[in-house]
Structure 1
Amino acid sequence: MKIAPFSADFIRGMESLIEEFLNYLRVEKGLAEGSLRGYVHDLQQFRQFAEEHGCSSADLLNRGLLESYCMHLSSLGLAARTIHRKLSPVRTFCRYLVREGYIHADPTDGITRPKLPRRLPKALSVEEVTTLLQYQPKDPVAAVRDRTILELMYGAGLRASEVASLNLEDIDLETKTVRCRGKGSKDRIVPFGSHAEQALRTYLQEARPELVKKPTNALFLTRLGRNFSISGLWRLITQRAKAAGLTKHISPHTLRHSFATHLLEGGADLRVVQELLGHASIATTEVYTHITTDHLREVYAASHPRAQKPRK
Structure 2
Amino acid sequence: MRKGRRVSGHLYKRDGLWWVRWQSGGRRFYRSTGETSKPKARTKADEILAPFRALEERDTLAAIKDRLAGAEVSAQEAVDIVNRIPLREVWKRHPYDHSQPKRANGTIRELSPMNVAQNKRDWEQFIDWMEEEHGDLEAMQDVTPGLAQEYSDHLFKKKRVTAGRHNKLITTCNVMYRLAGVPSPFAGVTKYQTPEHEHREPFDVQQVEALLASAQGEMRGLLAVLYFTGLRAGDAVQLRHENRKDGKIVVRTAKSGSTVDIMEHPMLTTIIGDVCGDSKRGPLFPELAELYRRDRVGLIHRFNRLMKSALGDDFSRTEKRTGRGVKAIARFGMHSFRHSLATHCARAGVPIGIVQKWLGHASETVTRIYQHYSTEDQKQIVAAIPRLALPGMEDQGDIIEAEAVVETKPVDLHAVRELVDGLTVKNVVAVRKKLLAMLPA
What TM-score do you get using the length of structure 1 for normalisation? 0.52
Question: Which structure 2 residues correspond to residues 119-130 of structure 1 after superposition, within 5 A?
Answer: 119-125=198-204, 128=206
Structure 1 residue corresponding to 2:122, chosen from 27, 39, 43: 39
Q: Does 1:94 align with 2:174?
A: yes
What's the offset of the Cα at 1:156? 3.2
Structure-1 residue corresponding to 2:282? 217
Structure 2 residue corresponding to 1:85, chosen from 159, 162, 165: 165
Is the partner of 1:107 in helix, strand or coil? coil
Q: Check the 8 A contact 2:94/2:180 in 1, yes or no.
A: no
Structure-2 residue corresponding to 1:163? 236
Is the partner of 1:77 in helix, strand or coil? helix
Q: Which has the higher contact order (CA 8 A, sep 6+)?
A: 1
Query: Which structure carries more helix by proportion?
Result: 1
What's the offset of the Cα at 1:71? 3.4
CA change 1:25–1:153 in 2 (3 A) is same
What's the offset of the Cα at 1:123? 0.9
Q: Does 1:178 align with 2:251?
A: yes
Question: Which structure 2 residues correspond to residues 15-164 of structure 1 after superposition, within 5 A?
Answer: 15-22=88-95, 24=97, 28-32=110-114, 35-36=118-119, 38-48=121-131, 52=135, 54=137, 56=139, 58=141, 61-74=143-156, 77-79=158-160, 81=162, 85-86=165-166, 88-98=168-178, 100=179, 102-103=181-182, 105-112=183-190, 118-125=197-204, 128=206, 132=209, 149-150=222-223, 152-164=225-237
What's the offset of the Cα at 1:29? 0.6
Structure-2 residue corresponding to 1:267? 352
Is the partner of 2:284 in helix, strand or coil? coil
Encode CA deviations 1:254-293: one digit per residue, 9 max, x unaligned: 312323555787534999799649xxxxxxxxxxxxxxxx
CA change 1:178–1:270 in 2 (3 A) is closer
Distance 2:186 2:270 in 1: 53
Structure-1 residue corresponding to 2:261? 191
Distance 2:301 2:151 in 1: 35
Distance 1:167 1:25 in 2: 28
Query: Which structure carries more strand by proportion?
Result: 2
Q: Check the 8 A contact 1:148/1:203 in 2, yes or no.
A: yes
Distance 2:119 2:274 in 1: 35
CA change 1:78–1:273 in 2 (3 A) is farther
Distance 1:90 1:38 in 2: 13
Encode CA deviations 1:198-240: one digit per residue, 9 max, x unaligned: 4566667x6567455xx8522248xxxx677748984998599
Is the partner of 1:255 in helix, strand or coil? helix
CA change 1:274–1:39 in 2 (3 A) is farther
**Counterpart of 2:84 in structure 1: which amino acid?**
F
CA change 1:40–1:235 in 2 (3 A) is closer
Q: State the percentage of identical aligned residues.
A: 15
Q: Would you say how many aligned residue pairs link Structure 1 and Structure 2?
A: 242
Distance 1:101 1:37 in 2: 14
CA change 1:107–1:128 in 2 (3 A) is same
Larger Rg: 2
CA change 1:22–1:256 in 2 (3 A) is farther
CA change 1:38–1:187 in 2 (3 A) is farther
Q: Check the 8 A contact 1:158/1:256 in 2, yes or no.
A: yes
Structure-2 residue corresponding to 1:257? 339
What's the offset of the Cα at 1:166? 1.9
Distance 1:79 1:227 in 2: 26
- Which consecutive unaligned segments of at least 5 residues does structure 1 have? 243-247, 278-312
Q: Check the 8 A contact 1:124/1:255 in 2, yes or no.
A: yes
What TM-score do you get using the length of structure 2 for normalisation? 0.39
Is the partner of 2:185 in helix, strand or coil? coil
- Which consecutive unaligned segments of at least 5 residues does structure 2 have? 1-78, 100-108, 292-298, 317-331, 363-441
Is the partner of 2:335 in helix, strand or coil? helix
Single out whichever of 169-178 and 227-236 deviates more from structure 2: 227-236
Structure-2 residue corresponding to 1:305? none
**Counterpart of 1:132 in structure 2: which amino acid?**
E
**Counterpart of 2:185 in structure 1: which amino acid?**
P
What's the offset of the Cα at 1:167? 1.5
